[in-house]
Structure 1
Amino acid sequence: MKKNYTYILAILFGILISLNSCSATKQHTLSALEPASVDLATTITKIGIINESSATTKSDYKNRIEQILSAKDQQLQKDGIDAAISGLFEELAKDQRFDTVRLIQTEVNNSEGLGDTVDTISWDAVKEICDANNVDAIFSLAYYEADTQVSVKKKKIEEQDMLRQYIKVAGHEITLETLIENGWRIYDPYNQQVIDELVFNEQITSTGTGTNEMDALYDISDRREAVLDQSKNTGSSYGLRLLPQEQDVVREYFVKGSDKLVEAKKLAEEDNWEAAAALWELETTHENTKLKAKACYNMAFYNEMNGKYQIALDWVEKASTHNDSKANTAYKAVLQKRITDTKIALQQLERSNLSASLEFE
C-alpha cells in the first residue's frame, strides 16, 4: 500500500506540473532512495531459511516430448529450489545486522502456492523450528514450480550436404516456454505474524531446430542454466527487500518566463547545473510574483537533485508564498515524504552496516 501511495503521488505530481505549463517545463530524472519493502524488528538477528516447497510431477502426456520434458522438469525444479535458496542465503549473509543465517532442513511441505486461502505452517511448528535451531525468524521458500509449455512448427533449416555446402531442408522448430513461479514468506513465531509474502513469476523461452522434433528438442542447450540463474536471482531479489533501493523519479523544472530561465535551460542541457541554479536564484528576487515562484520552484528542484531535501522544501514553500498553485502544493508533499523516507532508509542502511552515498540536509 505504501509503494502504491508513493507511485500515485508521483504520477499526480507530474500531471499537475504538465497541466500547469506543458511547454514551459523540461523533465529530468533523479535517483531517490526508497525505504526497504520489508522492515524487520531490531530484535531479529538470527535467521533460519527453510524450504516448504517440493517438486511437482505430471502424469498425463500428450506425446513423447512432453514425457521427456516432465522428467527433466522434475529434476530442474529440485535444482531450481536449491538455486533460489542459495540466492537468498548469499544475500542475507551480507547483511551485518544478522548474527546468524542458517539453512534448516525440515519436513514441512506446501504444494498449493500462496494466498489467503492457502494454509501457512502452524505457529507451533514454526516456533519449534526456531527454538530447535536458535533463530528469531524464518525465511521460507513457500512454493516453487517450473511449468513448461511446448510448441512445435515446421521450418526450413540449414544443413551441410555431401559437398559441405549449406542447403535448406525441411525441419522443425521447437519452442519451450518455462514459467518459473516461486513464493516466499517471512515468519515471526513469537508475534505469530507473517511479516511478508511475495510471489515471483518469470518466463524463460528457449528454441531449438532439427530435422525432426526430437532433434529440435535436443538442440536446446541453455534452458537449464537460464532457469537456475533466474531462480537464484529471485532468491537474491527477495533478500534485497530488506534493504533500501534506489528508484528513478521524474521531476520537471521551468525553462520559460524570462531570458534568464531560457539561458539556464541551455546551461542545464550542457549539464552545468551550478551555473543554471545561479541564474534561477537571481530570478527569485524578481518583481513578478509568478516568475519568482517559478525560480523558487527550480531552486527546490536543484537542491533535491543534490540531496539537500530540507533546503529544497524551504524553497518550494517560498514558491507557494508567491503562487499557491497545485503544482507547488504537490511538490511540497513529495519533498516532505522524501525527507521522511530518506531518514527511514538511512536508519535501515545503518542497521545493516552499509553506507549510503547520500548527503542528507
Structure 2
Amino acid sequence: MKIASFKIYSFLFIFVISTLLISFISSCKVAHTNLQVLQPAEIMLPQHFQKFVLADRTRAIKGNGSQVIGVLEGLLTGEGLFQDKWGAEDCVEGLRGVLTQTPRYAVAIASLDTALKGTGRRQTLPPLDWETVSKLIGGDNETALIVLEAFDSNNNFFTDITQVTQRGPTGENIQVPQFNSQNRVEVYCVWRIYDFKNKSIVDQFSDESRQSYSGVGATQAVADANLPSRMSMTSRAGVAAGLKYGRRVSPQWLSVSRQYYKKGSDVLKSTAHLVKHSNWQSATDAWDKESVSADPKAAMRASFNMALACEKAGQLDFAIQWANRAATMGDKRAMKYVFVLEQRKTDQKRLEEQMKGKKN
C-alpha cells in the first residue's frame, strides 16, 4: 500500500514539474510589448459637447441640521472632521485630472462652485435650475456641466494576527505574532451631467467603490502606524472614484500588453531586438517576408507578429486577417488574439462615433 501511494505521489510530482517546465519553455518563446489604445467612453454623450465644467455640490447647507448630522455620522463611522468635504474635493480633482488626458473634450472647474450647496450626505437635492447652470457654464450651449451631487465615505478598520517564523537570539527559529492592520474605505458618490442646450440631464450615475490599505507590524500600534492616515486614504479613494467616472464619460488612453514571438527562426530572433528599440517598420518588413517561409512554424509565428504590427498601425481589419491566418496554421495564441482584436474593432466603431462631434 505504501509503495502504491509512493508511486502515485511520485507521478503527481513529475506531472506538476513537467507541466511547469513546459509552461516555462512555452513562455520563453514570446516577449511582451505595450501598445497605447484609445478606449471609448462607457456611455454616449451628445455630439455638441465640446467642454466640461466641473462643480462640487456636496457641501451642506448651513442651518438645516445637515452639518451637525455629518459630524455625528463621522464619529460613528470613523471619519475625521471634514473628511468627506476634502474627499469630495479630491474626487472632483481626480475627475478633472483624467479629463485633461482625453482628446475629445476640454475641461475647467466652475468658478462659482463654492456657491453650490447640497445635503452633505448620501442624499441628493433636486437638479439645479437652468439659470444656475447657465451661470456656471457661461451660457455656452457646447459646454456640459458635470456636478458631484453627493459624496460619502466610511472607514472600516480590522486587524488580522498571524504567526511568522523569525530567527531567535540564539539562532533557533521561533514563532512570533505579526499584526496586519487593514482599512477598507468605502466611497459613495452621485454625478449628474447637465445639457444646457437641450435643458436635460443626460447622465445621473450613482457609484460605490472600495479601496483597501494595510499596515504590518510586530504590535498593533506599529501596524496601525504603518497605515496611511485616514485623510490620505479617503483622499486616494476619492481620486479613484473621480478617475472611474472620467472613464465612463470620455475616451481615455490605455496601455495594453501584447505578446509577440521572439524565437522560432533567425528572423524572429533578430526582430525581437528591433521591437525592443521601437523599430517597428523594419520588424514588420521582416515578419512579412518570414510569413511565407518554407518552415511552417516560422511562417505561423511571423503571421502572428504581423497581426500585432497591423494592430499597432491601427489597421484592425488586416490584424484580424493575419491573426486568423496564424490560427488556421495551428497557433492557439492567435485564436485568443482574434477575439481581442474583434473586441477592439467593436470598440473602435463606438470611439469613432464619440469622436465625430469634436471640433478642431
Partner of 1:88: 95
Given the alignment, which residue of 18, 28, 47 partners 1:42?
47
Cα distance in 2 between the residues matched to 1:183 and 1:217? 28
Q: Could you tell me which amino acid in structure 1 is paired with residue 235 of structure 2? A: L
Say yes or no: does 1:106 pair with 2:116.
yes
TM-score (norm 1): 0.57
Gaps of 5+ in 2: 1-21, 61-66, 162-178
* Conservation of the 8 A alpha-carbon contact between 1:27 and 1:251: yes
Cα distance in 1 between the residues matched to 2:160 and 2:331? 60
Return the offset for 1:138.
Answer: 3.2
Fraction of identical pairs, as percent? 16
Where 2:81 maps in the other structure, the secondary structure is helix
Cα distance in 2 between the residues matched to 1:319 and 1:111? 56
Q: Could you tell me which amino acid in structure 2 is paired with residue 201 of structure 1? A: R
Say yes or no: does 1:177 pair with 2:183.
yes
Do the aligned partners of residues 121 and 221 (structure 1) sit closer, same or farther apart at CA in structure 2, a change above 3 Å counting?
closer
Partner of 2:252: 244
Q: Could you tell me which amino acid in structure 1 is paired with residue 55 of structure 2? A: I
Partner of 1:31: 35
Return the offset for 1:262.
Answer: 2.9
Where 2:80 maps in the other structure, the secondary structure is helix
Return the offset for 1:237.
Answer: 5.1
Q: Deviations over 1:61-106 (max 9, x none)?
A: 9xxxx78x95x61322222223323443455577783476425343
Return the offset for 1:41.
Answer: 2.0
* Conservation of the 8 A alpha-carbon contact between 2:96 and 2:108: no
Given the alignment, which residue of 316, 333, 341 partners 2:347?
341
Return the offset for 1:176.
Answer: 7.0
Q: Could you tell me which amino acid in structure 2 is paired with residue 28 of structure 1? A: H
Q: Could you tell me which amino acid in structure 2 is paired with residue 84 of structure 1? A: C
RMSD, matched Cα: 5.2
Cα distance in 1 between the residues matched to 2:291 and 2:229? 60
Say yes or no: does 1:130 pair with 2:121.
no
Do the aligned partners of residues 231 and 246 (structure 1) sit closer, same or farther apart at CA in structure 2, a change above 3 Å counting?
same
* Conservation of the 8 A alpha-carbon contact between 1:284 and 1:293: yes
Return the offset for 1:49.
Answer: 2.0
Gaps of 5+ in 1: 1-17, 114-119, 154-172, 256-260, 355-361
Partner of 1:301: 308
Return the offset for 1:144.
Answer: 1.9
Cα distance in 2 between the residues matched to 1:203 and 1:330? 33
Return the offset for 1:142.
Answer: 2.5
Say yes or no: does 1:203 pair with 2:208.
no
Return the offset for 1:202.
Answer: 1.7
* Conservation of the 8 A alpha-carbon contact between 2:144 and 2:194: yes
Aligned pairs, number: 296
Cα distance in 2 between the residues matched to 1:286 and 1:328? 18
Do the aligned partners of residues 252 and 57 (structure 1) sit closer, same or farther apart at CA in structure 2, a change above 3 Å counting?
same
Cα distance in 1 between the residues matched to 2:217 and 2:297? 64
Bigger shift: residues 179-188 or 23-32: 23-32
Partner of 1:6: none
* Conservation of the 8 A alpha-carbon contact between 1:92 and 1:101: no
